[in-house]
Structures are given as structure tokens and as C-alpha cells.
A and B are shown apart, each in its own frame.
Chain A
Amino acid sequence: MKIFRILILLVASIWFTATLHAQDTAKAFIGAEIITATGDQYDDGVLVVRNGIIESVGARGQVTIPSGAEQIDVSGKVIMPGLVDPHSHIGGGDGGDRSASLHPDVRILDTIDPRSDTIRRALAGGVTTANVMPGSGLLMSGQTVYIKLRPANTIEEMLVYVDEENGIYGGIKMANGTNPLGQSPAPGTRARSAALVRNLFIQAQEYKKKMDEAGGDEEKMPSRDLQMETLVEVLEGKRHVHNHTHRHDDILTAIRLADEFGYRMVLHHVTEAWKVAEEIARSGYPASIIVLDSPGGKLEAEHLYYETGRVLEEAGVDFGYHTDDSVTDSRLFLRSAAFGIREGMSREKAVESLTIANARMMDMEDRVGSLETGKDADFIILSGDPFSVYTKVLQTWIDGEKVWDRENPEDRKYATGGYNVIQRASFGHHDHLNAGGN
């Protein structure tokens, strides 16, 4: 056994060295239209990446291509940042159950299948980073994970820590409106929902007070409580609340509660945000829109319009789009923002709403979401205009590595589907309860 272990170590170290070595060579992508998501755009641009990081980006002639760099001709193509999906259910994970309505201790981390075909399919749509969440059937269904969609055998290899010191790699999922309503112990009304949430956060405030009073003295610390520990992170602003909410009054309730307890929050779905755009703008909370082809299907989605993006842009809300995969398809994430353009949203905002705006909602704007020197080399190469139905994602790159290539039939099948391509996707009763989104 010992020999076996040494062998593994040896192989692992060779692989590691080889990878490092390979990455030491810079790669220069030359000639594409580069959309940086910082407002800059280069019609004939150069992107240089090395060691998984963007070394430089700019117009041809203004960017120094390092000697010895591998030069890749991408003329006629479009490069933009890898898409950041702030609300997804890929990976087949689950969350809290019906034994209670509030599960701050539950981690989706413990349930995701990193080999899931649904993750490959998201790569085919150009998604490089995602906030994978438990469902909306509970007031608080559990902790979410921020992951990069790199090939991995373990979920740990995919995690992105936003708070290294405290080991935080995600937010917490909450929901209001009709989805969490039901039979006891679920609340039966909206008012009960809010009361349950407020009661729990008051407990968390008291727990935090005891922690603060202990002043680092282990003896004086309150006994460990997974639920309270997580909520203290929320109260301290280390962990975002991702709040499912559709109707205008539910949006305002979510804002009221976040204001009361001072936690940081992202409003998700926001079907009726167009009715309270000014209020959202004043609150300062960002919003994440779902685009469905038609309104309806549930009472709260009756007033869903493609115009929401334009209205929020005009109101000055920091907003983006999400897939809620499998409610909408990660392969068509670009389409969601394109539907905003269709109703008057700017193209610049459309780019941001799939990238940097979403990175901000996950405290990851320093690493992903735009093409800037020093940020992670996460980008996609497109065949043309990002917002055209005819455009294809050609390649998806994460940390300077090509992780999906349309030229490769084994990769391409995730873009087109077909026989036995997606084997682990499901949306049965169990999933509907937990992951069941929108």
C-alpha cells in the first residue's frame, strides 16, 4: 500500500509540474473583437494569458506579445469574459428538507456531483462560474456554493473562496412569496414567513452578541451551533443572502428584512421588479432577473416581461441575469440578456449583466467577470455577436485552460444534445421540492 501511495504522489507531482510548465508559456489570442465588460472594446484585440491569469488585454499594437508566447489566431471571432451565472441548479445537488422551513446549516456542497453532465452543458453555453443553490421551496433552504466549472473529481476542486480566512465559498438561499408556503412546519402565509425569518435572525443576533462578548475567550463562547454560526456570517456581511422573490410586494418585504438585520442581499428572479424599480434602486440591493419565454405557469410569474432589464437599467439598479438552470438552459444564457436588448436595454449593460454585475453579487469581481490584467483567465471565444441566435460558443477557458471546445465531438455533444448525452439531469418530485427553481 505504501508503494502505491508513493506512486500516486509521484504521478501527481509529475502532472502538477507538467501543468505548471505548460502554463509558464504565455498564450496570446490575436485578432478577435474583444469585449472586456469594463466598457472597453477592441475591434482587433489581443488577449495574453499566463499561469491562469490575464497578463494583458488591449488593441493590437498596444499590447506587448511576450517573446515565446504561443500565438493563436482568433481573427473574425469574439472574445468576452466567461459567463457568471449567479443562480443555477446544475450538479444535481439538494438542500433542506420538509422537517423545517429554515436550514442555514444545510450545505449543497455535500450533495453536488462534480461529474454531472449538467455542468458540461453549462460549459457549452460559456458559463465559467456559477452560484449553485438549493431550491426555493423553503424559506431558507441552505448554503450555496460559488464554483468554477473546471473538470474535477471533487467539489472542493471547483470551489471559489470569497473569504479565505473564514472558509466561505458561497451565500445562503432564501425565498419568499408562494414557493415556501405549505403545511406545517412550513408557513401558511406571507406574514408568517417573514415572522419566522425575523425570529431566526433575532436568535442569530443574540448568538453573535455572546460571541462578541466572549472577546476571543474560548471558555465564554456560546456552544457551537451550525445554524447560528452560518447566520452570524450573514449578519457580518461575509455571506450574501440570495433571495428568491417574484411579486413586487415580496420584493419590498425582502428589502425590509435585509434592512432590519443589515445583511447583504441579492434579489433573485424579480418578475415584478419593473413595478418597484425606484424602490429597488434606492435600497441599493442588486437584482438578478430570470427571463422566461412567456409569463405565467405560476401566479407570481403572471406579470413577467422582457422589459424588466430596460426598466432596471433606467432606474440605475445594479442588476444581471441568471439561468436558474434547469428552469432555463445554461446553453442559452446569452439569450436572456439578448431579450433585454430586444426591449431597449443597452448592449453594454447586456454584457455586464452576464458577467461583472453577477461577479459583484458573489463578491468575486476582483477575480472574474471582466477581462482585465491580473484577473483569472476565464473567457469564451464566440463565432460572432454574443446576442445573435446564430452565434456559437466555440471555446470555453477557465484559469487559462481550455475546458470546452466545440471542435471536439465529445464536447460538442453537450451543446447540441442527443442520445444519452445528458444522463444525470432530473427534475422529478424530489428535485422539484428542493432544486425546483423559479
Chain B
Amino acid sequence: MKVLKLFVPVCLMFACIATDAAAQIAVKGETVYTMDGDPIRDGVVLIRDGKIERVGTAGSVSIPDGYDVHEAKVVTPGLIDSRSVVGLAGILNQDHDQDQIEMSNAFQPDLRAIDAFNAREDLVKFLLGKGITTVHTGHGPGALVSGQTMIAKTAGNTVEQSLVDSTTAIAITLGAGIRGGYSTPGTRAKSVAMLRQNLIEGQDYAKNRNSDNPPSRNLGRESMADLIDGKIYALIHVQRAQDIMTAIRLQKEFGFRMLLEGAAEAYLVKDEIKEAGVPVIIHPTMVRTWGETQNAGFKTAAKLKEAGIPVVFQSGYEGYVPKTRVVLFEAAIAVANGFGYEDALQALTIDAAALFGIDDRVGSLETGKDADVVLFNGDPFEYTTKATRVIVNGNVVYEKD
């Protein structure tokens, strides 16, 4: 996690604005999943100045005068989508609103997500209405290195207001998921050779940039050096088993922090993934099964979890319709296919937050954390359930009855 200094004052300023605007809120839930201990029956969450003030049973927490009260069957922390492209990819799917991939070159680690994220994008607000309050988004799969990713809240009108983490990962694709149309790489082997060469240059850059005689600045190499230094993740999009093994091979060679993304055939090499200690951001459960994802299954998330591999969920990238998936819906199908109920809620909240190092702010309903809370009119995973209130930073930003 790396927050650019530039954004610190801006974020503080926004926090002040939010503080002024936020009403004091009490959320009452028949079941409150705090993700910090057992769920609370008849629970209350108090929100003050944009933060969680107190959480407990209705019997133990009295609601002070002047608090707006909202009630729901089920209350959860704001949900976290661990891999998306929304904000860079727009709803219209026209050239002018598709900034998740740059076709001029297959290797562009210097592309920042913050320079392309449209906080007002309809798809971002759509996800907000489904209870997704935080999204790891950015450059998509499809290039060997397509660019950087970031983490944002789905509320907020500018990237500066929404930002949680400016530079989270470098988005890498291995295997046949690299689009045609680049002059190179055209094969798996060439992809890996290019990546290794650039990682070696990143190693040199990392070593020399703190020396007495630092190299002249090079944005791409800076990013690769950040990867080498463990400041950011390598987010590797792979589906086929042999490409998963390639990712693990590269990780062993260069020692970067890695997240496997997609991983449709992960069940074939789960022992190897476990041994490598790599978390998996599993493909959307309902991913269409052709091409690279031909062998995807509804039970893969459950199988990996059962094997002891950390699993979180994603909405992923869609080139056509639907233009985004909904991470909650994808997790629901995994739950219906053997993934534990509370495991899935954890994966959508505190596990994802911990993975990205943002669990000091989001991922659970604990005193002092950001007041990101979702109210559901039933079991969040059920087809017929919907979010009735979404609260971000203590503001009710979505209401529907």
C-alpha cells in the first residue's frame, strides 16, 4: 500500500467536509455481522462524525437523542470488491469510456489508475447501490502489464474524495488472456521473457535509486522497483494451470508480493498455490466458460478455501454485457456451492481489507473505523434480497425501499 503524499491533505479536507455533513446515525439490525466476533442478534451500530462510535446489542447500547435511526433485517460492513475495473471502464462500452486497457504497448507499468478513475461513473454508483462501498479497481487484464490499480470508495465525486489507496498493484496478465493486437508478446514464452527482463531492470533500479548516484527517473522502472521492494502487489491475471505455475515460478525468482487473479484452473494446482502462500482473487463464480475460463467451476472457491488458501471475490472485467458483475452476487453462487456463509461475508469484508492493508479503516464494524455500513432486507446472498440503505463515511448515500 502506497498513498501518494499529494493526496493526504486532500483526503483530510474531504474528511472534514464529510464530518460536517454527516448526521449521527443509529443502525438497528435483527442480525448485525460485525466481522469482529460472532454476529449480534438485535444489534445496534452507532455512527458519529463519519466513524463507527459503538457496536453492541440493543440491550447494551442506548441510542442517544438526535440520532437518525435506520432498521434492517441484516446489517453488514460495507462490502469490498477485490478486483474490478469500474471507474476506468464505463457503462457505455464505447471507446471514450473504456480506459481500463491501453493498446499502444503491452507493457506499461507507469499508467496510474488515479489518472483515469471517474468517480461519478454510473457503474461505480451502480455497485454502491448493491452494497459495495470499497472497490479495488484499475487497469484491466489483457496486456502483459496494463498499468496500476487503486482502491476507492464508491461514494465520492472525485478520485481525491473516493481514494483509499492510490497505488495498490501492477496488473499483469499471463497466458492467452493477453489480447491480440500488440506487436509483442505473441506467445506465452515471450511474455515471460519480457516480464523477467523488466523485473531485472526493476531490481537494478530499486538497488540504485537509493544510492549516491541514482539513475534518472523512469516512471515504469519506478513501478517495477516498487514491486521488487514489496511496496505494491503483483496482481497476476491467470486462468490456466500452467500459467498459474508460471506466476508462482516468477514470484519465487523475484520475491514480489503476489495476488493470483482469475485462476479458473486453480483446483488443479491447489497444493502448489498453498505451498507458495499466495492468496487468490477468484474469478467471478458465474464467469462464462469459454476460452481461458472453459474449465471454470462453481465450486472452485470452496475447494481452494477448503485447501487453506486465502480466497476473496471479484467482479472482474467484462467486455460486453453485463458491463460489471456484482461481487456480492458472485460470492452468493459460491456460497450456494459449498463456500461457508460467514467465510464468504469475511471474504467480502475483513479478509479483503486485510489483504489490501486497509483494515484499519474498513472491513468490520468496530469503533473508530470508517462508518461504511450496509442494510439488507434479508439474507444478503438471496436472489430476492436487496440493500435498502448504504452508508459510506457516515453518510446515507443510497436508499431504496
Chain A residues in the interface with B (C-beta under 8 A): 292-299, 301-302, 326-327, 329, 332, 335, 338-339, 341-343, 387-390, 415-423, 425-428, 438
Instruction: Determine the chain A residues whose CB is within 8 A of the CB of B122 once the complex forms.
Output: 295-296, 302
Interface centre among A343, A388, A390, A426 (most CB of B within 10 A): A390
- The reply to whether A294 and B289 contact each other, CB–CB distance below 8 Å, is no
B86-108 to A contact mask, C-beta < 8 Å, 1/0: 00001111100000000000000
- The reply to whether A418 and B295 contact each other, CB–CB distance below 8 Å, is yes
Cβ-based interface call for B233 (8 A):
no
- The reply to whether B93 and A296 contact each other, CB–CB distance below 8 Å, is yes
Tell me, in angstroms, the Cα distance from A417 to B91 when the chains sit together.
29
In the complex, what's the smallest C-beta–C-beta distance from B393 to chain A, in angstroms?
24
In the complex, what's the smallest C-beta–C-beta distance from A272 to chain B, in angstroms?
14
User: Whose C-beta in chain A lies nearest to the C-beta of B326?
Assistant: A293
Instruction: Determine the chain A residues whose CB is within 8 A of the CB of B322 once the complex forms.
Output: 292-297
A297-B93, A298-B93, A302-B122 known, 9 other contacts, Cβ within 8 Å: A295-B122, A296-B123, A296-B323, A329-B288, A341-B383, A388-B383, A417-B299, A425-B289, A438-B321
CB neighbors of A among B300-339 (8 A): 318, 320-326, 329, 332-333, 335-337
Instruction: Determine the chain B residues whose CB is within 8 A of the CB of A389 once the complex forms.
Output: 332-333, 335-336, 381-383
- The reply to whether A425 and B382 contact each other, CB–CB distance below 8 Å, is no
Cβ-based interface call for B398 (8 A):
no
Interface centre among A326, A339, A418 (most CB of B within 10 A): A418
In the complex, what's the smallest C-beta–C-beta distance from A23 to chain B, in angstroms?
34
Instruction: Determine the chain B residues whose CB is within 8 A of the CB of A294 once the complex forms.
Output: 91, 123, 126, 322-326
Instruction: Determine the chain B residues whose CB is within 8 A of the CB of A329 once the complex forms.
Output: 286, 288
Cβ-based interface call for B297 (8 A):
yes
- The reply to whether B299 and A416 contact each other, CB–CB distance below 8 Å, is yes
In the complex, what's the smallest C-beta–C-beta distance from A428 to chain B, in angstroms?
8
Cβ-based interface call for B361 (8 A):
no
27 contacts between A and B (CB under 8 A): A292-B321, A292-B322, A293-B324, A294-B126, A294-B325, A295-B91, A296-B122, A296-B323, A297-B91, A297-B322, A301-B321, A326-B290, A329-B288, A335-B383, A341-B383, A342-B386, A343-B386, A388-B382, A389-B332, A389-B382, A415-B298, A416-B298, A417-B296, A421-B289, A421-B295, A422-B289, A425-B294
Cβ-based interface call for B256 (8 A):
no
Tell me, in angstroms, the Cα distance from A428 to B91 when the chains sit together.
22
- The reply to whether A295 and B323 contact each other, CB–CB distance below 8 Å, is yes
- The reply to whether B297 and A416 contact each other, CB–CB distance below 8 Å, is yes
User: Whose C-beta in chain B lies nearest to the C-beta of A390?
Assistant: B336
In the complex, what's the smallest C-beta–C-beta distance from B251 to chain A, in angstroms?
24
- The reply to whether B386 and A422 contact each other, CB–CB distance below 8 Å, is no
Tell me, in angstroms, the Cα distance from A63 to B46 when the chains sit together.
57
Cβ-based interface call for B61 (8 A):
no
Known: A294-B126, A342-B385. Is A419-B295 also a contact (CB below 8 A)? yes
Interface centre among A297, A335, A390 (most CB of B within 10 A): A297
Tell me, in angstroms, the Cα distance from A419 to B295 when the chains sit together.
5
In the complex, what's the smallest C-beta–C-beta distance from A353 to chain B, in angstroms?
14
In the complex, what's the smallest C-beta–C-beta distance from A370 to chain B, in angstroms?
23
Tell me, in angstroms, the Cα distance from A307 to B289 when the chains sit together.
28
Instruction: Determine the chain B residues whose CB is within 8 A of the CB of A339 once the complex forms.
Output: 383
Instruction: Determine the chain A residues whose CB is within 8 A of the CB of B289 once the complex forms.
Output: 417, 421-422, 425
Cβ-based interface call for B12 (8 A):
no
Cβ-based interface call for B117 (8 A):
no
Tell me, in angstroms, the Cα distance from A301 to B126 when the chains sit together.
14
A-B interface, 6 closest residue pairs, ranked by CB to CB distance from nearest: A296-B91, A297-B321, A338-B383, A296-B323, A417-B297, A297-B323
Tell me, in angstroms, the Cα distance from A308 to B46 when the chains sit together.
36
Instruction: Determine the chain A residues whose CB is within 8 A of the CB of B94 once the complex forms.
Output: 299
Q: Which of B290, B320, B326, B385 is within 8 Å of A297, CB to CB?
A: B320
In the complex, what's the smallest C-beta–C-beta distance from B365 to chain A, in angstroms?
24
CB neighbors of A among B61-106 (8 A): 90-94
User: Whose C-beta in chain A lies nearest to the C-beta of B298?
Assistant: A416
User: Whose C-beta in chain A lies nearest to the C-beta of B335?
Assistant: A389
Cβ-based interface call for B205 (8 A):
no
Interface centre among A296, A335, A341, A426 (most CB of B within 10 A): A296
Cβ-based interface call for B33 (8 A):
no
Tell me, in angstroms, the Cα distance from A349 to B234 when the chains sit together.
48
Tell me, in angstroms, the Cα distance from A326 to B382 when the chains sit together.
23
Instruction: Determine the chain B residues whose CB is within 8 A of the CB of A390 once the complex forms.
Output: 335-336
Instruction: Determine the chain A residues whose CB is within 8 A of the CB of B324 once the complex forms.
Output: 293-294, 296
User: Whose C-beta in chain B lies nearest to the C-beta of A334?
Assistant: B383
User: Whose C-beta in chain B lies nearest to the C-beta of A293?
Assistant: B322
B331-360 to A contact mask, C-beta < 8 Å, 1/0: 011011100000000000000000000000
Instruction: Determine the chain A residues whose CB is within 8 A of the CB of B335 once the complex forms.
Output: 389-390
In the complex, what's the smallest C-beta–C-beta distance from A35 to chain B, in angstroms?
16
Instruction: Determine the chain A residues whose CB is within 8 A of the CB of B336 once the complex forms.
Output: 389-390
Cβ-based interface call for B384 (8 A):
yes
Instruction: Determine the chain A residues whose CB is within 8 A of the CB of B126 once the complex forms.
Output: 294-295
Instruction: Determine the chain A residues whose CB is within 8 A of the CB of B90 once the complex forms.
Output: 296
Tell me, in angstroms, the Cα distance from A428 to B290 when the chains sit together.
9
- The reply to whether A296 and B297 contact each other, CB–CB distance below 8 Å, is no
- The reply to whether B91 and A387 contact each other, CB–CB distance below 8 Å, is no
Instruction: Determine the chain B residues whose CB is within 8 A of the CB of A293 once the complex forms.
Output: 286, 322, 324-326, 329
- The reply to whether A418 and B267 contact each other, CB–CB distance below 8 Å, is yes
In the complex, what's the smallest C-beta–C-beta distance from B110 to chain A, in angstroms?
29
Instruction: Determine the chain A residues whose CB is within 8 A of the CB of B291 once the complex forms.
Output: 426-428
User: Whose C-beta in chain B lies nearest to the C-beta of A415?
Assistant: B298
